[in-house]
Amino acid sequence: MRVVTLKINGQEMSGRDDEDILHVAREHDIEIPTLCQLDGISEWGGCRLCLVEIEGSAKLSAACVTKVSEGMVVNTESERLAGYRKTIVEMLFTEGNHVCSVCVSNNNCELQDMSSDLKIDHISLPYRYPLRTVDASHDLFIFDANRCILCTRCVRVCDEAEGAHTWDIAGRGIQSQLVSDLHQPWGESTSCTSCGKCVEACPTGAIFEKGKAAGEMVKDAKFLVYLAEMKAEKS
Amino acid sequence: MSVRTRAARKNVAVKAPSDDKRWSIVAAVMRKHGSAQSALIETLHSVQSTFGYLDDTALAFVAHSLRIPLSKVYGVATFYSHFRLKPQGKHNCVICMGTACYIKGSARLLQRIDQKYGLKVGDTTRDNQFSLLEARCLGACGIAPAGIFDGRVLGNLASPLVESQLDNWLAESQQNEPKLP
Amino acid sequence: MMIDRKINQQISSPEELANVAAEQLAWQAQYQHRVFVCMGTACQSVQSGAVLTALQAEIKSKARENECLVSPGGCQGNCASAPLVSVPEQDLLYQKVQLSDAEEIIEALAGKPVGRLLCDNKSDFFTMQNRVVTNHRGLLNPESIEDYIAAGGFSALLKALTDFTPEAVVQELQKSGLRGRGGAGYPTGLKWSTVAKTRAEQRYVICNADEGDPGAFMNRSVLEDYPFRVLEGMAIAAYAVGASKGYVYVRAEYPLAVERVTKAIRNAEKHGLLGNKIGSMSFDFQVEIRLGAGAFVCGEETALISSIEGGKGLPCPRPPYPAESGLWGMPTLINNVETFANVVPIISGGAEKYATIGTPTSKGTKTFALSGSIMNTGLVEVPLGTSLRKMIFDIGGGVPDGHKFKAVQTGGPAGGCIPEEHLDATIDYETLMELGSFMGSGGMIVMDDSSCMVDVAKFFMQFCAAESCGKCVPCRVGTAHMHDMLDRITKGEGTMEELGQLESLCDVVKFTSLCGLGQGAPNPVLSTLRFFKGEYLAHIVGHTCPAGVCAPVGQDIRRPTCAL
Ligand SMILES: Cc1cc2nc3c(=O)[nH]c(=O)nc-3n(C[C@H](O)[C@H](O)[C@H](O)COP(=O)(O)O)c2cc1C
Ligand code: SF4
Ligand code: FES
Ligand code: FES
């Protein structure tokens, strides 16, 4: 491991070469939008919101999975990036069925926050209105597929932090869907330990506690960082 | 026995779901690959070629044997379009929808099959005689449009040729039907 | 019935190899007449297997087994005239051979050829090609290691092992200028040197035989006809980069190729040309075959690696590149089938000689699968730098049935459609890229005036949407949206505003997707918009389809019509 110096948005800084751009930027109070990234679990690189420009490269790079290197010159904000990010969030809104006013996570939703941060005032892409279901078979929790953005945070948290691997994505492409075990009702899952980590990890109102009314679900996944650190300490 | 305790007992062969001798073929494939998690796809191939499709029992057996989470096995089985989770017809007809075949009218072949037999891609006839599938290029573009009928590649397909093949299969089932006295 | 000579010995030095070759040649020479029947997928689909049996039975019934040998052979290239039978000593090729022709063909072996079956093998289709990868075309029993050795097979491997250091092999590859044949054209020697330089206990070599491009079958043909050559190329690569384990990842849709490669691995192992202590040297290389399961994205190298590891074919962000961290985290060399097949002539003939073919930046030859609306569909191999016009009108014989050429599609779902006015462009990595297309793996689909370019764009978009792995948002959702928009245009429901939206989605998906599938998915739309915008406008503004695909010519595409 080495310490490298780099420039993000014109600001000189240093970081370790095993760190990614996202974390080095955050340490220096530069916020890059993210959705699929969650501290304490592995990186995924799927939402593409954290894309940044790196000087000398024609391609955009996902900050959450790109390691910093000596002399790197990064730009996290531009009109082009803003446009791309907006369209991607629009895509997420049109892919599922998101009705914020009735959602348990209204005002506590990362997707909602993202759209206000990016100043999205209307959706210009056509809604796809997919047919999706709500699984309320679990004693404690509910999974509403209409609000799922397929970020796989629950899949990773369940596999990596809890070790149960109850969740996974079935199918592919636009047909992808979150399933538990062999696509059984969640309540019949033999692997689920009812630990509730997926509830905290889910950025929207897709996985939530039973009995919560609109706007009542508040999530906090900070404990994952401690879990990960303690695990690393042990090994 | 619960999933968890079974999976936890490393290196103990999981009991096959039934007495069916064919499970030994599947078990042999897993053994050949050292029952490693990386054997998953090869194992699913062997289940499908032995039993024709992958049902929940088979998926659970493979998951427990290779010590892979159920949802992960399900994810893999549904990610790859080659794997089928439902029983297939006795025969199968695969129409190529690759570029060369499309340019040469394979979409019209499918349209025609839909009109005449009421079958869409992925469907099986009600008498289970045949299933209709599509493929992405069979590597036989030189003789496009191409298809596979029960494993045999046929080229330069035209509707009459396809229909005569399908009609044969249907007629076969009517012959086998027990005649009313 | 299979008449073949089988040797049963270990080959451990170039001398022994030469002996085996000489013996096999002598054995072949005792037959006055040799006949080869193509056993490729296209020929087999029209019963070339039965033709082979019929010819062999005919020889038996005439008691001429001692002078005539009928063997299964490889693809002749002109698959449209299948089944093909060739008689090398008479320099003849018979086409569309029926079972009932067997007697006549055998009778004609010494005398006058069977005129009505003759295929003109002096036509441009045959003479304008330059066969390096497919040089024994048709005249090699694909399943016989003896035949392959007699034709010079495995001498490159033993030469590399005895005369070259691993570094020298890498240098030779760099000198040859060979670029990857799997699509992007990355310099092969450079990739090899990265793998060789990365420190690790274990390295892997993977042959990418996923060939998912719809409308491409070169890799299938090379694997079916030259399984030993591909394995030889892989072994040379393994020696050069220091790998002891290799995988051939073949799509399950190619059962014949799977069978041939599986047998070839076993056969080469039996003779000490794969496995432990190859050529009695301290060089081990085990090869295993892995089957795909129907996912185009598994052709992408990181997805392919996840698939070999037993998981879903989900691509991972690069860097790290597989050359540094690939299969099970180890440095992994991954090359296309044809790239490996090219290694053999480079080592046996020398890099200088190889580099004389092609253009300054695109060296060597490339195989193409010509198909669509063209006279001579089939497999061809030409030097890079050949013009598209020569390819389509001379070699391909032009567009049949009085139709007019409209466009040629190269590069598969990430490629583009090139119109008439650019036909003088040459086939090389850079030129195709400038035209908004892509070399890809070598599919070349010719379209005539009966193809609607909006419909073609929709076809490719549907392909990409169905094959998107779903990991990243722009590709997963973007391709679905783009497909819907194109669908509305072909139904006359599109608007000019939506066309603008389609263009901007193309830009987003191209630049924000994680892997090459999403990054390339907009290309067919962009290239048809660039060269055939008029057709889009005809659909949107005029509500007509000039090619008569979305509705018969002159009819309003908005009205529901009975297509048949
Ligand atoms: C979506 C996608 C599909 C691909 N399919 C193939 C394929 O079928 N065969 C292949 O050799 N390369 C394919 N590639 C390219 C590979 O990722 C890789 O670049 C190639 O195998 C490297 O070999 P080469 O250097 O010999 O070309 C594909 C790439 C992408 C992005
Ligand atoms: S671009 Fe498409 S295929 Fe590639 S990772 Fe993203 S969703 Fe998967
Ligand atoms: S946060 Fe980096 S891709 Fe989602
Ligand atoms: S496109 Fe149908 S066989 Fe290739």
Domain count, chain B: 2
Q: What is the CA radius of gyration of chain B?
A: 20
Ligand 2: which of C314, C468, C510 to mutate, most ligand atoms within 8 Å of CB? C468
Name residue, tokens 């501290």. Answer: A39
- What residues of chain A lie within 8 A of the CB of C467, using their CB? 172-173
Distance, in Å, from the CA atom of C302 to the CA atom of C297, rounded to the nearest integer, reads: 9
Task: Give the ligand with the smallest distance to the CA of B143.
Answer: 4
Q: State both tokens at A205.
A: 């109102």
Check whether domain A83-223 has CATH 3.40.50.1700, yes or no: no
Per-residue pLDDT tens digits for B147-160: 999 988 888 899 99
Residue B82 to residue C292, Cβ atoms within 8 A: yes
C474 touches A at CB < 8 Å: yes
Nearest to A157 by CA among A169, A149, A167, A142: A167
Task: Please identify, among B79, B110, B133, the residue that sits at the C-terminal boundary of a domain.
Answer: B79
pLDDT value for C378: 87
Residue B160 falls within a domain, yes or no?
A: yes
Residue B177: CA atoms inside 13 Å, Cβ hemisphere, count? 13
Chains with ≥3 CB–CB distances under 8 Å to B: A, C
Confidence check: pLDDT of B140 > 90 = no
C396 touches B at CB < 8 Å: no
Whether C309 and C202 have beta carbons less than 8 Å apart is answered as no
- What residues of chain C lie within 8 A of the CB of B68, using their CB? 310
Q: Is residue A49 in contact with ligand 3, taking CB distance under 6 Å?
A: yes
Residue B86 falls within a domain, yes or no?
A: no
pLDDT under 50 in chain C at which residues? 1-2, 563-564
Per-residue confidence at B2, pLDDT binned at 50, 70, 90? very low
Q: Give the residue-averaged pLDDT of A98-122.
A: 95
Q: How many CB pairs under 8 A join A and B?
A: 47
Q: Which fold has domain A3-77?
A: Ubiquitin-like (UB roll) (3.10.20)
- Kindly give the pairing relationship between strand C365-372 and strand C443-448: parallel
CB-nearest to A48 from C473, C501, C504 is: C473
Q: Give the residue-averaged pLDDT of A85-96.
A: 98
CA of A153 to the centre of ligand 2 (A): 18
**Residues whose beta carbon lies within 6 Å of some atom of ligand 1:** C 180-184, 186, 208, 210-212, 297, 299-301, 334-336, 339, 441, 515-517
Residue A168 to residue B2, Cβ atoms within 8 A: no
A125 touches C at CB < 8 Å: yes
Confidence check: pLDDT of A161 > 70 = yes
CA of C35 to the centre of ligand 4 (A): 29
Looking at the fold, whether B20 and B61 belong to one and the same domain comes out as yes
Per-residue pLDDT tens digits for B34-46: 999 999 999 999 9
pLDDT value for A143: 98
| Residue with CA closest to ligand 2 atom 8 | C469
Q: State both tokens at C553.
A: 């010519």
Positions of CATH 3.40.50.11540 in chain C: 155-355
Residue of chain B whose Cα is closest to the Cα of A164: B69
- What residues of chain C lie within 8 A of the CB of A174, using their CB? 465, 468, 470, 476-477, 479-480
Residue A170 to residue B75, Cβ atoms within 8 A: yes
Task: Give the ligand with the smallest distance to the CA of A85.
Answer: 3
User: Largest Cα–Cα distance of chain A, in whole Å?
Assistant: 54
Residue B85 falls within a domain, yes or no?
A: no
pLDDT value for C3: 60
CA of C183 to the centre of ligand 1 (A): 6
Looking at the fold, whether B62 and B19 belong to one and the same domain comes out as yes
Distance, in Å, from the CA atom of A125 to the CA atom of A147, rounded to the nearest integer, reads: 18
Ligand 2: which of C210, C467, C505, C517 to mutate, most ligand atoms within 8 Å of CB? C517
Whether C37 and C52 have beta carbons less than 8 Å apart is answered as yes
Q: List, as ranges, residues 225-284 from C with C-beta within 8 Å of B.
A: 252-255
CA of C217 to the centre of ligand 4 (A): 8
Residue B82 to residue C290, Cβ atoms within 8 A: no
Looking at the fold, whether B119 and B72 belong to one and the same domain comes out as no
Task: Give the ligand with the smallest distance to the CA of C292.
Answer: 1
Task: Specify the pTM.
Answer: 0.94
- Which atom of ligand 4 lies nearest, measured to the CA of C214? 1
Residue A91 to residue C481, Cβ atoms within 8 A: yes
| Closest CA–CA distance from residue B177 to any residue of chain C (Å) | 32
Residue A126 to residue C481, Cβ atoms within 8 A: yes
First to last CA, chain B: 50
B11 is in which domain, residue-wise? 3-79
Q: What is the 3-state secondary structure (H, E, C) of chain A?
A: CCEEEEEECCEEEEEECCCEHHHHHHHCCCCCCCCCCCCCCCCCCCCCCCEEEECCCCCEEECCCCECCCCCEEECCCHHHHHHHHHHHHHHHHHCCCCHHHCCCCCCCHHHHHHHHCCCCCCCCCCCCCCCCEECCCCCEEEEHHHCCCCCHHHHHHHHHHCCCCEEEECCHHHCEEEECCCECHHHCCCCCCCCHHHHHCCCCCEEECCCCCCCCCCCCCHHHHHHHHHHHHC
Looking at the fold, whether B100 and B63 belong to one and the same domain comes out as no
CA torsion through residues C477, C482, C483, C487, sign = positive
Bond before C319 cis per omega within 30 degrees: yes
Positions of CATH 1.20.1440.230 in chain C: 453-540
Residue B112 falls within a domain, yes or no?
A: yes
What kind of architecture, by CATH, is found in domain C155-355? Answer: 3-Layer(aba) Sandwich (3.40)
pLDDT value for C5: 83
pLDDT value for C258: 95
Whether B93 and B131 have beta carbons less than 8 Å apart is answered as yes
Bond before C474 cis per omega within 30 degrees: no
First to last CA, chain C: 46
pLDDT value for A194: 97
Task: Please identify, among B15, B45, B79, the residue that sits at the C-terminal boundary of a domain.
Answer: B79
Q: Give the residue-averaged pLDDT of A87-115.
A: 96
B97 touches A at CB < 8 Å: no
* CATH of segment(s) C453-540: 1.20.1440.230
Positions of CATH 3.40.30.10 in chain C: 14-127
Per-residue pLDDT tens digits for C473-518: 999 999 999 999 999 999 999 999 999 999 999 999 999 999 999 9
Residue B75 to residue A181, Cβ atoms within 8 A: no
**Residues whose beta carbon lies within 6 Å of some atom of ligand 4:** B 96, 98-101, 137-141, 144, 146; C 214-215
Task: Give the ligand with the smallest distance to the CA of A45.
Answer: 3
**Which CATH number fits the domain C365-448, given the four candidates 3.40.309.10, 3.40.50.300, 2.40.30.20, 3.10.20.600?**
3.10.20.600
- Kindly give the pairing relationship between strand B147-149 and strand B91-96: antiparallel
- Kindly give the pairing relationship between strand A60-62 and strand A73-75: unpaired
3-state secondary structure of C289: strand
Distance, in Å, from the CA atom of C278 to the CA atom of C5, rounded to the nearest integer, reads: 23
Looking at the fold, whether B97 and B165 belong to one and the same domain comes out as yes
CA of C297 to the centre of ligand 2 (A): 8
Q: Which amino acid is at C33?
A: H
Whether C417 and C512 have beta carbons less than 8 Å apart is answered as no
- What residues of chain A lie within 8 A of the CB of B72, using their CB? 165, 168
Confidence check: pLDDT of B139 > 90 = no
Q: Which fold has domain C14-127?
A: Glutaredoxin (3.40.30)
Mean pLDDT estimate for chain B: 87
- Kindly give the pairing relationship between strand B91-96 and strand A207-209: unpaired
C480 touches A at CB < 8 Å: yes
Residue B40 to residue C80, Cβ atoms within 8 A: no
pLDDT value for C395: 95
Task: Please identify, among B79, B99, B117, the residue that sits at the C-terminal boundary of a domain.
Answer: B79
| Closest CA–CA distance from residue C540 to any residue of chain A (Å) | 18
Residue B22 falls within a domain, yes or no?
A: yes
Task: Give the ligand with the smallest distance to the CA of A84.
Answer: 3
> In this prediction, does ipTM exceed 0.90?
yes
